[in-house]
């Protein structure tokens, strides 16, 4: 992990006392009946992580970007938010489909920036490989043809990586620092989400993958109709593997993803279930698999509040739990 500028001598003196104070506040919150199925230790850890998420953003300038501050400054459009994943099913969309998507708001997740379609905003959780860093520089943040595209980057993944981004313009990158909700206890997660997921003053919540963070982002923008595209999960195939790549435009993303998988020690066999949905992997990461977590969000937060989350690929693992919808309807 990179050295953190906020970890001064003063910080090291007050941090233990601050952590203890969060323990006292956590006990008080439980006595007041603000949470169920949460221990004061769990709540203390969450409060501490929320504090750290704010502190991490103080590193934005050092990391050559700016802090993302205000959802009110984002211009939404249309009644639908499309979240664009990298699954191979995205190749099935027609030109008419893309025109429909363009009339509404769209969020490209992670490596989606390698697609020809330009979403309204990119939310990127960088891979661990140096290839991942060089790829986003050349394809997106330093590409003069794409200077108008908004780019949000998960700051924790930069802080945990010895690689650094080298943007030509620091204002090109906005960093977001979500609360990372680490637990596999569904009752605990459910209790926390019910209280905070739709709280405008609460930071973004990250759990199983950047996909769930993108869903939270769309909710914070006020969308009541959120549709998932290219979110397949039943395999590890991506849209760039299925393209007729005569001009070799996808070789770099293939190599970056190959290296990411190699560093993480994951099997990249395309027939395997996606890593975020693989419980053998998510158990080691102390989180629910993405299918269980998104189903939980939908059941305890979204549906009760009139927010429709649907998946446009009927073959997606999520189709057993979420509504399916077409792009046009």
The pLDDT tens digits for 37-89 are 899 999 999 999 999 999 999 999 999 999 998 887 888 899 999 999 999 99
pLDDT of residue 327: 87
> DSSP character for 87?
B
As a dihedral over the C-alpha atoms of residue 238, residue 167, residue 126, residue 114, rounded to 10 degrees, the angle is -10
pLDDT of residue 246: 65
Return mean pLDDT, the chain: 93
> What is the average pLDDT across 133-155?
94
Distance CA 150, CA 130 (A): 22
Distance CA 279, CA 210 (A): 17
Distance CA 233, CA 219 (A): 22
The helix/strand/coil state of 96 is helix
Distance CA 240, CA 230 (A): 12
pLDDT of residue 243: 67
* 215 phi, psi to nearest 5 deg: -65, -45
Shortest CA distance to 59 belongs to which of 148, 140, 170? 170
pLDDT in tens, 4-19: 899 999 999 999 999 9
Distance CA 262, CA 26 (A): 40
What DSSP letter does each residue of 168-221 carry, written as one string?
Answer: S-GGGEEEE--EE--B--HHHHHHHHHHHTT-TTSPPEESS-HHHHHHHHHHHT
**Burial (Cβ within 10 Å: 0-12, 13-18, ≥19) of residue 229:** buried
Domains of the chain: 68-324 (3.90.1480)
What DSSP letter does each residue of 118-161 carry, written as one string?
Answer: --SEEEE---SSHHHHHHHIIIIIT-GGGTTSEEEEEHHHHHT-
Q: Are 20 and 33 in contact (CB under 8 A)?
A: no
> DSSP character for 106?
E
Choose the weakest-confidence range: 76-85, 99-108, 126-135, 162-171.
162-171
Shortest CA distance to 197 belongs to which of 318, 307, 107? 307
What tokens appear for 207 in the block? 């759990």
What tokens appear for 158 in the block? 């930069």
Question: Can you tell me which residue has the tokens 């909700």?
Answer: 181
Between residues 163 and 133, the one the model is more confident about: 133
Give me the numbers of helices (H) and strands (E) for the chain, helices first please. Answer: 10, 11
> DSSP character for 287?
B
Q: What is the gyration radius of the CA atoms in the chain, in angstroms?
A: 20
Q: What angle do CA 25, 68, 60 make, to 5 degrees?
A: 90
């Amino acid at each position: 992990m990179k050295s953190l500028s906020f970890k001064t001598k003063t910080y090291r003196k007050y941090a233990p006392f601050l952590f203890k104070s969060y323990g006292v506040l956590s006990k008080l919150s439980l006595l007041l009946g603000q949470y169920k199925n949460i221990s004061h230790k769990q709540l203390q850890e969450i409060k501490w992580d929320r504090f750290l998420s704010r502190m991490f953003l103080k590193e934005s300038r050092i990391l050559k970007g700016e802090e993302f501050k205000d959802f009110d400054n984002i211009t939404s459009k249309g009644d639908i938010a499309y979240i664009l994943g990298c699954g191979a099913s995205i190749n099935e969309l027609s030109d008419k489909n893309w025109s429909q998507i363009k009339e509404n708001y769209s969020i490209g997740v992670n490596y989606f920036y390698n697609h020809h379609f330009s979403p309204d905003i990119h939310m990127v959780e960088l891979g661990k490989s140096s290839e991942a860093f060089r790829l986003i520089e050349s394809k997106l943040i330093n590409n003069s043809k794409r200077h108008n595209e908004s780019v949000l980057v998960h700051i924790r993944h930069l802080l945990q990586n010895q690689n650094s981004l080298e943007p030509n313009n620091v204002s090109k990158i906005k960093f977001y620092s979500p609360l990372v909700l680490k637990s596999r206890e569904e009752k605990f997660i459910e209790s926390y989400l019910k209280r905070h997921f739709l709280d405008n003053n609460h930071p973004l919540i990250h759990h199983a993958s950047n996909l769930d963070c993108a869903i939270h982002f769309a909710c914070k923008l006020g969308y009541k109709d959120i549709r998932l595209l290219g979110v397949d999960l039943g395999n590890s195939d991506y849209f760039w593997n299925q393209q007729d790549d005569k001009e070799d435009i996808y070789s770099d993303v293939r190599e970056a993803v190959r290296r990411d998988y190699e560093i993480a020690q994951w099997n990249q066999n395309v027939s395997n279930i996606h890593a975020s949905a693989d419980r053998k992997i998510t158990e080691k990461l102390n989180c629910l698999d993405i299918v269980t977590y998104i189903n939980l969000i939908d059941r305890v937060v979204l549906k009760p509040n009139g927010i429709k989350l649907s998946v446009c690929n009927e073959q997606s693992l999520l189709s057993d739990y979420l509504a399916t919808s077409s792009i046009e309807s």
